[in-house]
Amino acid sequence: MELRIACIPGDGIGPEIIAEARKVLDKTADIYGHKIHYTDVLLGGASIDVHGVPLTEEAIHTIRQSAAVLMGSIGGDAAVSPWYRLAPQLRPEAGLLALRKALDLFANLRPAILYEELADACPLKENIIGGGFDIMIIRELTGGLYFGERKTETENGVRKALDTLVYDEKEIRRVAVKAFDIAMKRRRKVTSVDKANVLDSSRLWRAVTEEVAKDYPEVVLEHMLVDNCAMQLVRNPAQFDVILTENMFGDILSDEASMVTGSIGMLASASLNDSRFGLYEPSHGSAPDIAGQDIANPIATVLSAAMMLRYSFDLDREADSIEDAVKTVLKDGFRTGDIISADKTQVGCSRMGDLLAERIACKI
């Protein structure tokens, strides 16, 4: 099969982790007889440095010619980077938001899994983690507060800022359908998270989610208020299967869930639209403080590449091979600095990529 992939190395550790994901993808393609065509695309700070803007029309055009996008990370250290002296709509993050909107990537899948081999890194007590947990957070990604009207003005000498949170029922329905479809392939439970005791947008969210649930009688739907959910994630994470929520709640809760696994450097993500097209990136950020030192953990990006093979190209066996390689490398005792523990072997980013590529095996 021919795979057309747009690659966004981005900023900070992005280029390093993308290089390792490509190593692993190339080895997988070799073994299974596929041909990958990569096209590099600039986004975020890397695009600002060359074009003065975080996303160009040309970049969107190139991405549209591809079947999927593999992304590293974007953004820098706001305290020191010149990118953050630009107007808000010209900063790196604005490029990513605009790209999500342009491609209509409304469903953001963020798995938060406790890896058995890394249970030591989990900050929760053993009696809480018990048999581990495997949560799929589905965050609405192109609506709500991050895309509503916003402005800052001065009225009678008083500064005032406004952000608007708008959802229509179609936006809620399509992401809810994705969440229920995914729950059907998992443990058949959806926890829809909102703030329906205060917000109108949440009350509509709840009503539409209930309508969608009628088409999925085998899936249990429960509603949970966002503040309670933040607490339940550290009190009893194993109660969750699929968490469905709006844009800002999902942004916050997915960071919390990933930290609860103790290994944010391990967590992948997929952003999907209504076709097979998707953008795949690690859940972590660009970590400018460790960029260029060959110490970043490339596993989240490698696992994002596996999600890409699964969701955009329907290559389940190939994706399984990559996920198995990750488990084997951990069993073999190799760790990057972020997940190191006593009696394990510490390796850098590039060596980790080599070790993973070596472990890709054919699953026929």
Contact positions vs ligand IPM (CB under 6 A): 75, 93, 96-97, 251
- Concerning whether 255 is annotated as a catalytic residue, the answer is yes
Cβ proximity to ligand IPM: between 241 and 251 the closer is: 251
Q: Least Å distance between CB 266 and ligand IPM?
A: 16
Dist CA 165 CA 138 (whole Å): 18
Judged by beta carbon, residue 75 or residue 143, the one nearer ligand IPM is 75
| 55 vs 44: CA distance, rounded Å | 7
Q: Within 13 Å and on the Cβ side, how many CA atoms surround 287?
A: 21
Instruction: Give whichever of 146 and 334 is closer to ligand IPM, judged by the CB atom.
Output: 146
At 90, which amino acid appears?
A: L
Between CA 325 and CA 337 the distance in angstroms is 19
Choice among 120, 181, 215, 227 that is catalytic: 227
Cβ neighbours around 363 below 10 Å, total: 13
Residue 96 interacts, among Mg ion, ligand IPM, none and using kind-specific CB cut-offs from 5 to 8 Å, with: ligand IPM
Options 168-176, 223-231, 244-252, 356-364: segment touching Mg ion (CB under 5 A): 244-252
| 313 three-state secondary structure | coil
Q: Which of 117, 194, 241, 251 touches Mg ion (CB under 5 A)?
A: 251
- Under the binding rule (CB under 5 A), the answer on residue 140 touching Mg ion is no
When CB distances are held under 5 to 8 angstroms depending on the partner's kind, the choice from Mg ion, ligand IPM, none that residue 171 binds is none
Closest by alpha carbon to 242, among 300, 308, 184, 311?
184
Q: Which of 216, 251, 311, 338 is catalytic?
A: 251
β-partners of residue 3 are 36
Minimum distance from residue 254 beta carbon to Mg ion (Å):
7
Q: Are 286 and 74 in contact (CB under 8 A)?
A: yes
Q: Which stretch binds Mg ion (CB under 5 A): 43-51, 108-116, 188-196, 247-255?
A: 247-255
Beta-strand pair 68-73/268-272:
unpaired
Amino acid in the structure at residue 9: P
The Cα 315–Cα 360 span in angstroms is 14
CB of 123 to ligand IPM, least distance (A): 20
Q: Which residues pair with 69 in a beta bridge?
A: 6, 279
User: Among ligand IPM, Mg ion, none, what does residue 107 contact (CB within 5–8 Å per kind)?
Assistant: none
Q: Give the single-character DSSP code of 264.
A: G
Residue 123 · residue 262 · CB < 8 Å: yes
Q: How is 11-72 classified by DSSP, letter by letter?
A: STTHHHHHHHHHHHHHHHHHHHT-EEEEEE---THHHHHHHSSSS-HHHHHHHHTSSEEEEE
Out of 104, 255, 324, 354, the active site residue is: 255
Q: 212, 177 in Cβ contact below 8 A?
A: yes
195 tagged catalytic: yes
Question: Residue 206 Cβ, how far from ligand IPM at the closest point, in Å?
Answer: 23
Per partner kind, with CB cut-offs from 5 to 8 A, the member of Mg ion, ligand IPM, none near residue 93 is ligand IPM
Least separation in angstroms between CB 108 and ligand IPM: 8
Residue whose CB is less far from ligand IPM, 269 or 321: 269
The nearest distance, CB 140 to ligand IPM, in angstroms, is 11
- Annotated catalytic residue, options 115, 146, 280, 311: 146
Indicate the residue whose CB is closest to ligand IPM. 93
| Binding at 97: pick from ligand IPM, Mg ion, none (beta carbon under 5-8 Å per type) | ligand IPM
Residues near Mg ion, by CB under 5 A: 251
Residues marked active site are found at 146, 195, 227, 251, 255
